[in-house]
């Protein structure tokens, strides 16, 4: 007797939650599920790169070996396009958004997807977990016309779905449609995702902080003050520093154990490093749906009005009490940059 429901059964059972959807959102999540399995298969072979050939080389079959992030981008773009589900896609791997035209040139589909196809891909060569991050909006321009930039530059509080796939010791698809956060683990033997993490919630408190402390001298004073708070011998401190250098992995661990992930501005990255549209907004939507807080240090990430496709913003996200404490340190000082 199967203990956990599969992703497919979960989507069917919760179809009524997608109140506006005529099944398109369900089909969209299903297409992401397929792409995740295809990318997972390739990422898991990455360890054989010397046999299969590096990016730009040809592998033993004489096929051109693609960089995995380019490969992942192609897989998600093709899967979303072939299934005629969305009308436009924006990707970290594409300079501009891509219009998906329907059979007759027009496209009556109502969703746009923004994606970071393989975040943390530099970790692949050292066998560290990587991830895919996606964000879904309803288009705001007229159905049947080509999508416009404004369809993609919507505030994060307009997202209809968001999620990530973490290609780690196991492969998980974690997503929300605004009704909580659920995680599904892939059984690679049969290629099925099973509901393994129902109704995920950030612990209100935590003892893990995730940040690249190598940038310490470049951080704003509020971040330096918060780090000293994390490290002093008081109450349940010092906290533990855990930083994998792969956003999805750090975020996923913190959501389960409790913690804060920070990528602040610095003199080296005056607007931060992470992209608002396909990293910070989906992560912020998931954070809030799991009872956490996601801020740029001064305001809610989901309320930021995007100005450009690949815009960067700073992010503090995770356990409510930890992020609120960090914000209190940040608010002692004026914002050090416009972003």
**What is the nearest approach in angstroms of ligand P6P to the Cβ of residue 212?**
3
- Residue placing its CB nearer to ligand P6P in the complex, 119 or 336: 119
**What is the nearest approach in angstroms of ligand P6P to the Cβ of residue 129?**
10
**What is the nearest approach in angstroms of ligand P6P to the Cβ of residue 301?**
15
**What is the nearest approach in angstroms of ligand P6P to the Cβ of residue 9?**
31
Is the distance from CB of 72 to CB of 117 less than 8 angstroms?
A: yes
- Residue placing its CB nearer to ligand P6P in the complex, 123 or 185: 123
- Residue placing its CB nearer to ligand P6P in the complex, 229 or 243: 243
Residue 312 φ then ψ, to 5°: -105, 145
The Cβ of residue 5 has, within 10 Å, a number of other Cβ atoms equal to 16
**What is the nearest approach in angstroms of ligand P6P to the Cβ of residue 277?**
13
What CA–CA distance (Å, rounded) separates 168 from 112? Answer: 27
Tokens coding 282: 């989906």
Q: In what order do the strands lie in the sheet with 86-91?
A: 98-99, 86-91, 111-119, 130-138, 161-167, 171-176, 181-187, 192-197
- Residue placing its CB nearer to ligand P6P in the complex, 147 or 230: 230
What distance separates the 2 farthest-apart alpha carbons in the chain? 66
Cα angle at 319 between 177 and 250, to 5 degrees?
80
Binding site for ligand P6P (CB under 6 A): 119-120, 212, 245-247, 250, 273-274
- Residue placing its CB nearer to ligand P6P in the complex, 23 or 245: 245
């Amino acid at each position: 007797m199967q203990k956990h429901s599969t992703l497919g059964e979960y989507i069917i059972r919760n179809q009524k939650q997608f109140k506006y959807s005529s099944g398109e959102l369900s089909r969209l999540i299903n297409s992401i599920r397929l792409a995740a399995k295809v990318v997972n298969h390739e990422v898991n072979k990455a360890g054989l790169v010397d046999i299969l050939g590096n990016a730009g080389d040809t592998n033993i079959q004489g096929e051109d070996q693609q960089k995995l992030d380019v490969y992942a981008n192609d897989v998600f773009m093709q899967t979303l396009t072939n299934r005629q589900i969305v009308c436009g896609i924006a990707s970290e791997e594409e300079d501009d958004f891509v219009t998906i035209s329907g059979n007759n040139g027009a496209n009556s589909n109502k969703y746009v997807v923004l994606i970071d196809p393989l975040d943390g891909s530099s970790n692949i060569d050292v066998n560290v977990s990587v991830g895919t991050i996606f964000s879904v909006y309803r288009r705001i321009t007229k159905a049947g016309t080509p999508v416009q930039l404004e369809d993609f530059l919507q505030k994060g509080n307009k997202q209809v779905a968001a999620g990530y796939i973490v290609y780690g010791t196991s492969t998980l698809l974690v997503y929300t449609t605004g009704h909580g956060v659920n995680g599904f683990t892939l059984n690679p033997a049969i290629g099925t995702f099973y509901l393994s993490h129902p109704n995920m919630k950030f612990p209100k408190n935590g003892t893990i902080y995730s940040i690249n402390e190598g940038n310490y001298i470049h951080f704003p004073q509020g971040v330096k003050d918060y780090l000293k708070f994390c490290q002093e011998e008081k109450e349940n401190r010092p906290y533990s520093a855990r930083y994998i250098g792969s956003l999805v992995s750090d975020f996923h661990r913190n959501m389960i154990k409790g913690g804060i992930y920070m990528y602040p501005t610095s003199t080296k990255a005056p607007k931060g490093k992470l992209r608002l549209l396909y990293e910070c907004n989906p992560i912020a939507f998931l954070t809030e749906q799991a009872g956490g807080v996601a801020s740029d240090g001064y305001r809610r990430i989901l309320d930021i009005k995007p100005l450009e496709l690949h815009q960067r913003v700073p992010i503090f996200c995770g356990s409510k009490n930890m992020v609120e404490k960090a914000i209190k340190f940040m608010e002692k000082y004026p914002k050090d940059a416009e972003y």
